[in-house]
Amino acid sequence: MSNTTIVLFTALSIGSALSSSAVALLSDRLPRLINYAILPLLSLAGMAGVIAGLGALQTGIDLQFTLPFGLPWLPWHIHIDALAGLFLTLIGLLTTAASLYARGYLQEYLSGSDSLIPLGVFSGLFVTGMLLVVIADDAFLFMIAWELMSLSSYFLVTWQHENSANRRAGFIYLLMAHVGALAILLGYGVLAGFGGGFEFALMRDAELSPLWASVAFGLAFFGFGMKAGLVPIHVWLPEAHPVAPSHISALMSGVMLKVAVYGFIRVVFDLLGNPQCSWGVVVLLVGGISALYGVLAALMQHDLKRLLAYHSVENIGIIFIGLGLSLLFAGTHHPLLAALGLVAALFHTLNHAVFKGLLFLGAGAILHSSHQRDMESMGGLLRRMPWTGFFFLIGCISIAALPPFNGFVSEWLTFQTALQAWMLDNGILRSLVPITAAMLALTGALAAACFVKVYGVVFLGQARSRPARRAREVSLSMRISQGGLAALCLLLGIFPTSIVNLLNQIPTELLGQGLTHYAEHSWLWLTPVEAEAASYAAPLLLVGMLLLWAGMAWWLRRGEMRQVRRSDPWDCGFATPNARMQYTASAFAQPIRHVYGLLFDIKEDVKTLPDGSRRHHLQVDDRFWNLLYLPITRIVLSSARRVSQLQTGQIRHYLGWMLATLVVLLWLIM
C-alpha cells in the first residue's frame, strides 16, 4: 500500500467521523438518520481507519507532513508510523463493531424522551479526537485532540443526565480527566523547554539531564496513567463505564484507555528515549498492583458492567507490566528483551481491545433484553439468548487467558519476558521481576474464577427474576458485531506469529531492535526468545483440541451411552430446587472476600422481613475513596469555606483587600 493511499484513508476516517457529527444535528427531526446516515458514516470511519492502520503496520512507514491549521506560528504536524498504525487499527475495529451494534441497541431510544442529537454529535467527535491523538506530531494538536476526546466522552457518559448517578460519574470523570491533562501538558512543557518548540521532532532532539527526564516521565506516567485507569487513580473508571450507553462503554474501555497507553509509549519510548532502569521499576510495580487489585475488585462486584470496568483496570495493569519489563530491560541494555516486553504489551493492548469490546457489547445485549445489570437478578439466559451466550463465553475464555484464544498469547509472552530476569545483574531486580510475575499468575487465576462466576450466574441455572425469564435474543446487527469480535478473539489466538510480525515494526522503530527468532521454525511455532527456551504452536493446539472433542463426542454417542436414562438429580429429600437455591454472585465470591476483604470497605448484613424471610445485603466500596480521595475532598471544601469568608458583602472590606494587594505588588516590584 502506498503512502498516499494510507494518508487518504486516514483523512477519510477522520472526515467520516466528523460528518457523522454534523448529520447528527438533524437527528431529532429525522430519527431515521441514525440508521441511514450517522451510523453508516461511523462504520465508514472505522473501516477506513482499519485499512490505514494495517497499511502503516505492514509497510512500516514514517510519514510526516504539516497541515495549514492551528496557530500562525504553530501549524498542525501529522506523523503516521507503525505505532500510530496499530492504534488507528484498534480505533477502527471497535468503531466499526460499535456502530453496527448501535443499529439495534438504539432502536428503543428512537421514540423515547432522550434526545439523540448529543449521542450522535459527541460519538463522532469522540472518534475524531482519538484518531487525531494518535497521528498528532506536536503538543498543540495533541492536547486539542486529547481535550476533544475527553470532553466528548464526558457528554456521552452524562447523556441520560436525568439520572443522578450519571451526573456524579460524569463529574468525577471530567475532573480527573482534566487533572491528568494538566500533568500531560506540564510534561510536554518540560520537553518543549529543552527542545525549543512544541513539535515532537524538536522534543526528540532535546538533551535532558536525568533529573528533568525523570520529571517529564513522572508527569507523563501520572497523566496517561489517570486516563488509562491505573491504581490508585482509577476511581473514575468503575463509575463512568457502567452508566454510559453500552456501545460507548465498549469504545471507552476497548479504545480510549488504549489511547492513553499510546500517549505513554509515544512520550517515554519515543520523545524521551534512553529509558532509565528506575522508570521500569516504577511502572512494573504500579502495573502489578493495578492488575491484582483490579481483578480482586471485580470479584466483589455483582453489577455486570461495573465488574467489567474493574477488569479493565486489571488488564491495563497487565499491559503496564509488559511496558515496565521493556523499560527495565532497555535501561539495563538488553534490547532484545526490551523488544519482547514491548511486543507483549502491544499484543495485550490489541487483545484487550477486542475481548473487552466483545464483553461490553454482550453486557449491553443483556441489558437491552432484560433491562438488568445486577447479576443477582439474572440466570438462565443461555436458553433465551443462545447467540449472545455463545459469544460472551468466547469473551470470558479470552479474558481468562485460556488457549487457544488471544488473551493467552499476550500473557504468555509477558511471562516469557519476566522469565528472562536471570539476565539482570542487579540482585534486587532479579527478585522484583519474579514477584511481579507471581502477581500476574495470581491475577490470571482470579480472572478465571471471576468469569466462571459471571457466566454461571448470568447464563446458567434458572432465571432469578421476571425480566430474566422474559429476555429474548437481540437483533441481527447486535449479534453480527459480537460475532465479528468473537471471531477475532480466535484468529488472534491461533495466528500469533502473523500478529507478532506486524507488531515487530514498532520496537524496531522505537528501540532500534526487534524480535529475531519469533518464527524460527515456521509460522506454526511462536518462539519469543529462542526455540530451545520456549515455543507455542497455537494452530496445532487447536487441531488437537478439536480431535479430542470429536473423540469424546464419538465415545458419548456409542450404543451403550444411548441407553442411559435421564432424570432429575437426587434432591436429598428436600423440596424441588428453585432459583433461590442457586449460588449467587455474592456467595460465589465469599471465600475471596474473606481472604482479601481488608483491601475493600465491605458492608454486609442480613435483615429479617415481617413475613419471616431474610434478605442479604452486600455493599463493597473502593477503599481508595476513604484513604485518598475523601481526605482531599475535605481539605478542598474546608479551604473553600475559609476563602468564602472573604466575601462579606461590605465594600470597605473589598477596598481594603485591594489596597493590601496593591501594597504587596508595589513592594515586590520595588
Sequence-distant (6+) residues with CB within 8 A of 320 are 225, 228, 230, 261, 283, 284, 286, 287, 290, 345
Would you say 142 and 181 are in contact if contact means Cβ atoms under 8 Å apart?
no
| Domain end point (choices 157, 173, 206) | 206
Res. 560 pLDDT band, cuts 50 70 90: low
- Give the separation between CA 136 and CA 78, rounded to whole angstroms: 5
H or E element, residue 616: strand 614-622
* DSSP-based helix, strand, coil % in the chain, nearest 5: 70, 5, 20
Contact assessment for residue 354 and residue 93, using Cβ atoms and an 8 Å cutoff: yes
Residue 113 neighbours by CB distance under 10 Å: 7
Secondary structure of 572-605 in the HEC alphabet?
Answer: CCCCCCCHHHCCCHHHHCHHHHHHHHHHEEEEEE
With a cut of 80, say whether residue 522 has pLDDT above it.
no
| Residue 479 binned pLDDT confidence (cut-offs 50, 70, 90) | very high
pLDDT band at 526 (very low <50, low <70, confident <90, very high): confident
Domain membership of residue 35 (yes or no) is yes
**Helix or strand holding residue 79 (H, E):** strand 74-80
Give the total number of structural domains in the chain.
2
Contact 93, 353 (CB under 8 A): yes
* Tens digit of each residue's pLDDT (9 = 90 or more) over 62-103: 888 888 887 777 889 999 999 999 999 999 999 999 999 998
Expressed in angstroms, the distance from the first to the final Cα of the chain is 66
The answer to whether position 117 is within a domain reads: yes
Per-residue pLDDT, 559: 54
Tell me the residue range of the domain where 633 lies: 589-670
Cell representation of residue 439: 502477581
* CA distances for 263 relative to 64, 94, 279, angstroms: 18, 19, 16
Q: Provide the pLDDT for residue 613.
A: 66
The residues facing 64 across adjacent strands are: 79
Check whether 549 has a pLDDT greater than 80. yes
Alpha-carbon distance 447 to 292, whole Å? 9
> Parallel, antiparallel, or unpaired for β 614-622 and 74-80?
unpaired
pLDDT at 628: 78
Q: What is the pLDDT of residue 569?
A: 66
Adjacent-strand bridge partners of 536: 526
According to the model, what pLDDT value does residue 124 have?
Answer: 93
CA distance 221 to 215: 10
Q: How far is CA 650 from the centre of its chain?
A: 52
- The model's pLDDT over 236-289, given as tens digits with 9 standing for 90+, comes to 888 888 888 999 999 999 999 999 999 999 999 999 988 889 999 999 999 999
**pLDDT, position 622:** 78
How large is the average pLDDT for residues 340-367?
94
Nearest-angstrom CA–CA distance, 189 and 220 = 11
> Nearest-CA neighbor of 123 among 138, 142, 113, 109?
109
Is 468 a member of any domain? no
Query: What's the confidence (pLDDT) of residue 125?
Result: 94
Residues in the chain: 670
Non-local CB neighbours of 632 within 8 Å, separated by 6+ positions: none
pLDDT at 421 over 80: yes
| Whether the predicted pLDDT of 370 surpasses 60 | yes
Instruction: Enumerate the β-bridge partners of residue 414.
Output: none
Q: Is 15 exposed, middle or buried (0-12, 13-18, 19+ CB in 10 A)?
A: middle
pLDDT digit string, tens, across residues 447-474? 999 999 999 889 988 888 888 888 899 9
CB atoms within 10 A of CB 335: 15
Q: Is residue 183 part of a domain?
A: yes
CB 122 within 8 A of CB 58: no
Instruction: Answer with the one of 184, 206, 228 that is the final residue of a domain.
Output: 206
Residue 169 confidence (pLDDT)? 87
Q: Report whether pLDDT(523) > 80.
A: no
Instruction: Note whether residue 521 is domain-resident.
Output: no
Q: Each residue of 108-162: pLDDT tens digit?
A: 777 766 778 888 899 999 999 999 999 999 999 999 999 999 999 999 998 888 8
Flag whether 624 is in a domain. Answer: yes
Quick check: 575 pLDDT over 70?
Answer: no
Comparing CA positions, the residue from 192, 261, 259, 187 lying closest to residue 220 is: 187
Distance of CA 379 to the CA centre of its chain: 27
Query: Position of cell 472433542?
Result: 549
What mean pLDDT is predicted for residues 619-629? 78
pLDDT for position 183: 94
What distance in Å separates the CA atoms of residue 577 and residue 461, rounded to the nearest whole number?
A: 10
Question: Cβ of 630: how many Cβ atoms within 10 Å?
Answer: 11
In a domain, 424, yes or no: no
Q: For the full predicted model, state whether its pTM sits above 0.85.
A: yes
Amino acid identity at 580: R
Residue 652 in domain: yes
What angle (nearest 5°) sits at the alpha carbon of residue 235, between those of residues 233 and 236? 105
- Rounded mean pLDDT, 334-350: 93
What integer is the mean pLDDT of 293-298?
92
Last residue of a domain, one of 160, 188, 206: 206
CB 596 within 8 A of CB 296: yes
Q: Count CA atoms closer than 13 A to 6's CA, side-chain side.
A: 26
